[in-house]
Chains A and B, each alone.
Chain A
């Protein structure tokens, strides 16, 4: 008896693991690493670079790149949880990067430049928040407008140039943020991870996470429990704006140059994909920051894989679009119902047989 129970327990654990999105994400990540290692035997090599004071190798550059995805995916997770979307993250990255680079070339102190860039991210996010929460506009149209206008703002800030601050003295802290190392691990990855964990702790240790989910599941019911849905909506868009600004700093500081067209381009899609991979439904509700974080790393890994396989980088958006489509199709109720329907039919047949017998 006891043994049987134990076996049941074990089956449960396995079933739970198999049903968990995180498990599948980890499997996908490992699979990608294996593919890369087969193609490029040096892929797993790690070496110590004395010049930078950190580890070097393909995996490390992958982590470096993932930092920006971690930021926008975290913001996007909270927004999507409220049944919204933030299509402006890529443009906010460009605006924040443009701000920082332009200020640096104008001779502003680097810390001031960073703070101003973050503040601008906060302002854009807040504008999104006000439009969605107080005016009640649809999130996708609001942030779509901001995506368009944001690019314009970035271009206005730099007068249409791709401002280059690499020759400007005093930019070291920013440079370190993107290219430096903490205990041998890329600094931006560590910073991003700390921020993700901080957001995770705040949302789960306080009632913020539950309230965000509650608003995403049923806004009117949430209002009736005394939650102020407007406050929550405003909050998530503001957070998303700030985090996108950080991502913009990461993206521009690695080369100390902003490309007003390419910085953050297509990244709203990556963020959405990371969130979807992480198991948060695009219809809102329950969210998993850990899932999205893993999703963000997978995005970076997919990009690395594309490069390792020697596929033209132009194919990347098409590839990501295909992945989004596949995941959304798999999440679709129709596909879920299909298996449920089959089970139902089978059970029905069984019971009929039983009756007949």
Chain B
């Protein structure tokens, strides 16, 4: 390996945003014919690093060398010209155009009368075939193929420029196991043709399956570059979160399970509740004081079920019972009125109201169910805000700051306060700890347990099996828009139990 020359060398990369150093002297080397993974927790600086390499962000210090030449990257076009192609987590193609047009956009074959579509489509077919996608009709609309397939088309598109470097930013997050294997097949093809691949994924299994080399980042700092084969998992995790393996096993002892007494009535029961294309008809009980974990991969239907239970999407099937009484939850307003709250996984787009203050963000749901023209008395409002600022330890402790100026973790706390302010009987938390720092994470996990102990029913949705297993009383496992198992979370249950459940369910079917 030592004889190889890196194709890209990024040295001492520093990027500053107002008030924070997103990257501080980070190094990265990409070798031809290798898959290189950028590792780190959320907020470690992975996506900033990628944006520096794709020319989206300008670097404040450091150097980028491509093919031995120092390179300035101002904009995506520069990066493309330097032979760096990128495929993002969300498919960045145009669904209003055909597959072939998407592949060839900006590289159409031209004849004497402008674009020669025959040649262009033939060329598109060639590029698709290179990726083993020869069964796709380039003239078919992009919207006619699945998201997973679109992701593969995006790779074909990226490779049209004969890229030397291919960046894949969390391409697997919405793919199922088979689709991931398709993707890996293509990645191996591309790698074997001598391209350097930079791969980002949160799934450790995938990292160990496909990558050759790892660069670990933490809090915007460069930690280490290692070979995948020579690095055990616990060591890798330790480097990512800054704790040794021994320390890791310390945190997160499982909580004692809340036993459901015979004859006890659930707070919420759904019967065959479903919505076409999102989640198949599902039964679910949630008891007072119980934490129900929803586990499953992205796209398994875990979020869809949560949204349905909140009325964020209208169910087209089934019944909803609240304390044994039938209710019709068809909008968030009705849900909140009935004491059901849902904290979204998409904090930025569906959670915070960025330009309002922390105080307004905390009170807005309570205000909405009281009615527009029935303002919350100032004294009551003060008490509520004061209580939750303290209880949830919101930093900085100034309720009149705009919520957009808070860190992710503190925004999350404010949102949880918003839902607690309506004193819900059922609180659905979708990925409440995603993308926030470890301190806030622990505080939120602690709060979930406290709330359950006080008698609230909690649905805890998370992609991190570890916290689901640790916090839940029962675990609902979902896959392919369907509930596949209810697991009573006793001492015999571990992350492995859930992984096996998900893996085995496909085989039976």
Chain A residues with a Cβ under 8 A of chain B:
205-208, 210-211, 213-214, 217-218, 220-228, 285-286, 340, 344, 348
Contacts and interface: CB of A to CB of B under 8 A. Distances in A.
Given A211-B372, A344-B16, 4 more contacts: A210-B367, A211-B367, A213-B353, A286-B355
B354 A218 contact: yes
- Identify whether the interface residues of A are mostly helix, strand, loop, or mixed: helix
A225 B364 CA distance: 7
B365 interface: yes
A208 B372 contact: yes
Interface stretch (B129-137, B172-180, B342-350, B447-455): B342-350
A41 B465 CA distance: 80
B160 interface: no
A296 to B, nearest CB: 24
A225 B418 contact: yes
A218 B375 contact: no
Which of A205, A208, A221 has the most C-beta atoms of chain B within 10 angstroms of its own C-beta?
A221
A199 to B, nearest CB: 14
Nearest 8 CB-CB pairs, A to B? Answer: A226-B368, A226-B336, A226-B333, A225-B365, A206-B373, A207-B367, A227-B368, A225-B364
B171 to A, nearest CB: 26
B332 interface: yes
Nearest to B371: A207
Contacts of B368: 207, 211, 225-227
Nearest to A222: B353
Contacts of B373: 206-208
Contacts of A214: 353, 356, 360, 364
Contacts of A224: 310, 312, 332, 342, 344, 350-351
Interface of B: 16, 18, 60, 310, 312, 331-333, 335-337, 342, 344, 349-356, 360, 364-365, 367-369, 372-376, 418
A50 B335 CA distance: 64
A221 B18 contact: no
Contacts of A207: 367-368, 372-376
B332 A210 contact: no
B369 to A, nearest CB: 5
Given A224-B332, A228-B333, A206 B375 contact: yes
A340 B349 contact: no
B329 to A, nearest CB: 12
22 contacts: A206-B372, A207-B368, A207-B373, A207-B376, A208-B372, A210-B364, A211-B367, A211-B372, A217-B353, A217-B354, A218-B350, A218-B352, A218-B354, A221-B349, A221-B351, A223-B331, A223-B332, A224-B344, A224-B351, A225-B353, A226-B337, A227-B364
B332 A226 contact: yes
B402 to A, nearest CB: 10
A90 to B, nearest CB: 29
Contacts of B336: 225-226
A344 B60 CA distance: 10
Given A222-B353, A225-B365, A340 B60 contact: no
A213 B332 contact: no
A205 B342 CA distance: 28
B345 to A, nearest CB: 12
Contacts of A285: 355
A220 B350 CA distance: 5
A205 B310 CA distance: 30
A111 to B, nearest CB: 28
Given A224-B344, A227-B364, A348 B16 contact: yes
A285 B402 CA distance: 13
A226 B330 CA distance: 11
A218 B369 CA distance: 18
Nearest to B404: A217
A344 B18 contact: yes
Contacts of A286: 355
A86 B322 CA distance: 43
Given A217-B354, A221-B353, A348-B16, A226 B372 contact: no
Nearest to B14: A348
